[in-house]
Amino acid sequence: MAIGETIRNSQIWKSIFRHPMPLDRRNRIVVMLTNFFLHLHPVSIKKQGIALSFTWCMGGVTFFLFMVETVTGVLLMFYYRPTLEWAYNDILALRDVTSLGILRELHRWGAHAMVITTWLHMYRVFLTGSYKPPREFNWVVGVILLLLTLLLSFTGYLLPWDQLAIWAITVGSNMARATPFLGYEGPGQQLLTIGGIDMITDKSDARFGLLGARFVGEETLNRFYVLHCIAIPLVVALLLAIHFWRVRKDGGISGPL
Amino acid sequence: MHADPFFLSDVAGFLGGYFAFLAVMNGIFALVLWRSYGQTGRALVWTVFAGAMMILSSLALSGSPSLVPALPDGVRGLVNTLSGPVLYSLGTVALCTVLFVFRSFFVRPMVAWTLFNAALVLMGLSMADQNFALIVMKPDNVPIVGLVFLLAFFTWVATKQAVVNDERIARGEPPMEKLDDEKVLVWPDLVYTELICMVAVSAFLLVWAICLPAPLEEPASSVKTPNPSKAPWYFLGLQEMLVYFDPWYAGVVLPSLVIFGLMAMPYLDFNKAGNGYYSIAERKFAYLTFQFGFLVLWITLIILGTFLRGPNWNFFGPFEYWTPYKVEVLNNVDLNQMFWVNWLDMPLPRAAVDAPWYSRIATVLLRESPGLVVLGLYLVALPPVLAVTIFRGMFVKMGFIRYMVMANLMLLMLSLPLKMALRWTMNLKYIVTIPELSLNF
């Protein structure tokens, strides 16, 4: 007890936490205003809005799973090498010999769970009519985040470089070659011909842009790796910030007007 | 067929635990009914049920494969014979309709609990079938089983509150959510909930990760194509649509429309009621449209694509062996063929090889005229007709542009079930076929 008090009275502790423990009403308010991680929240909130049967917690769980994916993903990046030579072997080693290889399980199941919780979050927001004014735009941001969640999962699906991975990505990306006008098997691409030279071929169409090659190969692995680890997470992080900001600005947590 | 003699003894341990879990769950449920609610009669019924689960559990663990509880072969055969894409699709629509129409009955806790247990028992009995277990236990398919139960649970949670609110609103009272406008401090009321949530999710994820290894198949080989080749499970609804449409529509245009339609929703739904509380009666049109798109089209097609589509994307019953040699008759006919050849008894219009370009275009238009007329009527003529008939009130409130966007999104969404119905009843392949432009619809 005495040690705890000494620590809490030390200059270091007081420089981090500017006020006493949140045990009384005043300090419970102050903590929300002075803590960086907590200031995302309001100080007080509609009791009804945080009832479990009303809100289901699915948005928060999705955000938590995104953080789990980030942490486990960064740790996996230390180990995994996205090349044809090493990708499969590294995953094999994660399964069989590496300590903490369970990080891969956490990452994969967390990703599946995140897709599901995103859908459930959208489902709740729809069923309570919370997309209605003034929250229309935040619903739009949410739909983009839903799409990006699926793309994150899709790009990550390729990285183990096993049969499951490349054929799932092959089937998924084959759609892109049927893009109207921009896919070489798509409707209307015949019209994009200048002086007898086809503009859209299997080396210049939408699928090529996605895969970086005509088939799922090393270029695709590199492209999906960068999209999965850097590009999409950055965009998601930005949109998440906007999403949370707008929850506060558009009338707070949902509930009857 | 290709039965593994050790399968039943392998799965027995899992089933023993599974039924024991059901027994404990219902035992606790009975105890709560008895002690907290004083419902002795009901508690007794659920105690008996828990006892039955205990018996199933001991049968599974008895060490004799012949005693493992399973669905009788006759039932499994019947389910396999009866099931097909048509029955599956119509069946799920019928099921959702019944659940929706009689929702005030189905949301009663006792009814919902009975259904939940029935589903779990059916699932357990099915797991003793090797073909069923093989597909459901595939590591990447496990999340879908979770998704189905979670969706059922949350739909129940939401509908239960909506039924109460709708009754209150009908009596002129405010919804339950409006009764309590008390405010609480975020610390501790929300922050603690969040912390508990994080701990629970972490624990759940850890147990999942320990119990179920992530899948890792053979190294990638671009020459060995697996049969069936499937996209990740959340895209299997789209892959299933490829049965009815070409990739440009099923894989590119329709998904884009789904995203666009979702984004457009708040701007199309002009109904001010039902904002911030569960309600169905106040927003029936929006509710039914969304549920049709989400539960009926998106979710059930994912289930169909994952569990019931085997080699060559053929349909297999839940207890059927996925043989790559299953033969399915493909006798689908294009609409132009039906119109010119079958009905008018004429050859398809064809331009001469040296015909000028305008004559060739005219020939294509003539050849495809039946399909183009059908599509024109559907997409161009139908929205205005609906605007002056059944959607009259909506058209007046929404205005021209919003109404047109809504009507077209709606018709394009309905293009999928309509094409399915045409395929099943008329063996129709394409309504419009223009190979000159790779354009088939």
Beta strand pairing call for B433-434 and B439-440: antiparallel
Question: Angle at CA A59, nearest 5°, toward A64 and A255?
Answer: 145
Task: Give residue A75's pLDDT.
Answer: 97
Q: What is the pLDDT of residues B111-137, one digit of tens each?
A: 999 999 999 999 999 999 999 999 999
Whether A163 contacts chain B with CB within 8 A: yes
The C-alpha atoms of residue A156 and residue A227 are separated, in whole angstroms, by 9
Q: What is the pLDDT of residues B279-306, one digit of tens each?
A: 999 999 999 999 999 999 999 999 999 9
Nearest Cβ partner for A129 among B150, B198, B276 = B276
Whether B205 sits inside 8 A of A109 (CB atoms) is yes
Whether B438 sits inside 8 A of A168 (CB atoms) is no
Residues with Cβ within 8 Å of residue A143, at least 6 apart in sequence: A122, B259, B262, B263
pLDDT-derived band of residue B373, with 50, 70 and 90 as boundaries? very high
Task: Give residue A2's pLDDT.
Answer: 86
Q: Domain-by-domain residue ranges, chain B?
A: 1-69, 71-215+231-313, 335-440
CA B435 vs. chain centroid, Å, equals 33
| B250, HSE (Cβ side, Cα atoms, 13 Å) | 27
Q: Is the pLDDT of residue B2 over 60?
A: no
Min distance A137 CA to chain B CA atoms (Å): 8
Whether A191 contacts chain B with CB within 8 A: yes
Whether B216 sits inside 8 A of A95 (CB atoms) is yes
Q: Which two tokens stand for residue A241?
A: 């910030």
Task: Give residue B437's pLDDT.
Answer: 85
Min distance A238 CA to chain B CA atoms (Å): 19
* Whether A190 contacts B440, CB under 8 Å: no
Whether B353 contacts chain A with CB within 8 A: no
Q: What 3-state class would DSSP assign to A91?
A: helix
Give pTM, 2 decimals: 0.95
Q: Is the pLDDT of residue B6 over 70?
A: yes
3-state secondary structure chain B: CCCCCCHHHHHHHHHHHHHHHHHHHHHHHHHHHHHHHCCHHHHHHHHHHHHHHHHHHHHHCCCCHHHCCCCCHHHHHHHHHHCCHHHHHHHHHHHHHHHHHCHHHHCCHHHHHHHHHHHHHHHHHHHCCHHHHHHHCCHHHHHHHHHHHHHHHHHHHHHHHHHHHHHHHHCCCCCHHHHCCCEEEHHHHHHHHHHHHHHHHHHHHHHHHHHCCCCCCCECCCCCCCCCCCCCHHHHHHHHHCCCCCHHHHHHHHHHHHHHHHHHHHHHCCCCCCCCCCCCHHHHHHHHHHHHHHHHHHHHHHHHHHHCECHHHCECCCCCCCCCCCCCCCCCECHHHHHHHHHCCCCCCCCCCCCCHHHHHHHHHHHCHHHHHHHHHHHHHHHHHHHHCCCHHHHHHHCHHHHHHHHHHHHHHHHHHHHHHHHHHHCECCCCEEHHHCEEC
Q: Which two tokens stand for residue B27?
A: 């035992």
Nearest Cβ partner for A256 among B177, B246, B434 = B177
Residues with Cβ within 8 Å of residue B360, at least 6 apart in sequence: B351
Q: What 3-state class would DSSP assign to A44?
A: strand
Min distance B68 CA to chain A CA atoms (Å): 30
Q: Is the pLDDT of residue B190 over 80?
A: yes
Chain B residues with CB-CB distance to A85 below 8 A: none
| A173, HSE (Cβ side, Cα atoms, 13 Å) | 27
Chain A residues with CB-CB distance to B183 below 8 A: 44-47
Count contacts between A and B (CB, < 8 Å). Answer: 262
Q: Which two tokens stand for residue A161?
A: 């470089």
**Cross-strand bridge partners of residue B433:** B440
Question: Angle at CA A215, nearest 5°, toward A211 and A220?
Answer: 35
Q: Which two tokens stand for residue B365?
A: 């238009």
Whether A113 contacts chain B with CB within 8 A: yes
Residues with Cβ within 8 Å of residue B45, at least 6 apart in sequence: none
Q: Is A252 left (phi over 0), alpha (psi -120 to 50) or beta?
A: left
Judge if the upstream peptide bond of residue B5 is cis by omega within 30 degrees of 0: no
Tell which B residues from 111 to 140 touch A, by Cβ distance under 8 Å.
Answer: 140
The C-alpha atoms of residue A94 and residue A81 are separated, in whole angstroms, by 12
Residue A205: name the closest of A197, A193, A213, A194 by CA.
A213
Tell which A residues from 132 to 151 touch B, by Cβ distance under 8 Å.
Answer: 132-133, 135-136, 139-140, 143-144, 146-147, 150
pLDDT-derived band of residue B3, with 50, 70 and 90 as boundaries? low
Amino acid sitting at position B355: A
> B109-127 vs B7-37: helix axis angle to the nearest 10?
170
Distances from the Cα of A11 to the Cα of A7, A16, A17, angstroms: 9, 9, 10
Min distance A233 CA to chain B CA atoms (Å): 19
ipTM of the complex: 0.94
* Whether B129 contacts B71, CB under 8 Å: yes
Whether A25 sits inside 8 A of B146 (CB atoms) is no
Q: What is the pLDDT of residues A98-156, one digit of tens each?
A: 989 999 999 999 999 999 999 999 999 999 999 999 999 999 999 999 999 999 999 99
The C-alpha atoms of residue B79 and residue B57 are separated, in whole angstroms, by 25
pLDDT-derived band of residue B350, with 50, 70 and 90 as boundaries? confident
The C-alpha atoms of residue A44 and residue B186 are separated, in whole angstroms, by 5
* Whether B19 contacts B69, CB under 8 Å: yes
Q: Which two tokens stand for residue A188?
A: 């209307």
Task: Give residue B293's pLDDT.
Answer: 95
Whether B278 sits inside 8 A of A187 (CB atoms) is no
Q: Is the pLDDT of residue B277 over 70?
A: yes
Q: Is the pLDDT of residue B7 over 90?
A: no
Task: Give residue A202's pLDDT.
Answer: 86
Whether A127 sits inside 8 A of B278 (CB atoms) is yes
* Whether B147 contacts A116, CB under 8 Å: yes
Q: Which two tokens stand for residue B329?
A: 């008759």
Whether B21 contacts chain A with CB within 8 A: no
Whether A72 contacts chain B with CB within 8 A: no
Which residue of A lies nearest to B263 if distances are taken between CA atoms?
Answer: A140
Task: Give residue A115's pLDDT.
Answer: 97
Nearest Cβ partner for A170 among B191, B229, B251 = B229
Distances from the Cα of A35 to the Cα of A29, A42, A63, B410, angstroms: 11, 12, 19, 47
Length of chain A counted residue by residue: 257
Given a cut of 70, the residues of chain A with pLDDT beneath it are: 1
* Whether B253 contacts B323, CB under 8 Å: no
Which residue of A lies nearest to B221 if distances are taken between CA atoms?
Answer: A163
Whether B214 sits inside 8 A of A164 (CB atoms) is no
Residue A205 CB neighbour total at 10 angstroms: 25
Chain A residues with CB-CB distance to B265 below 8 A: 131, 139
User: Which of B141, B154, B197, B201 to mutate to probe the A interface, most A CBs <10 Å?
Assistant: B201
**Cross-strand bridge partners of residue B333:** B428
Whether A102 contacts chain B with CB within 8 A: yes
Distances from the Cα of A241 to the Cα of A36, A46, A141, B31, B85, angstroms: 14, 22, 10, 46, 43
In a 10 Å sphere around its CB, with 0-12 CB exposed, 13-18 middle and 19+ buried, how is residue A241 labelled? exposed
Residue B417: name the closest of B315, B274, B297 by CA.
B297
Q: Is the pLDDT of residue B1 over 60?
A: no
Q: What is the pLDDT of residues B141-189, one digit of tens each?
A: 999 999 999 999 999 999 999 999 999 999 999 999 999 889 999 999 9
As a whole number, mean pLDDT of residues B45-62 equals 95
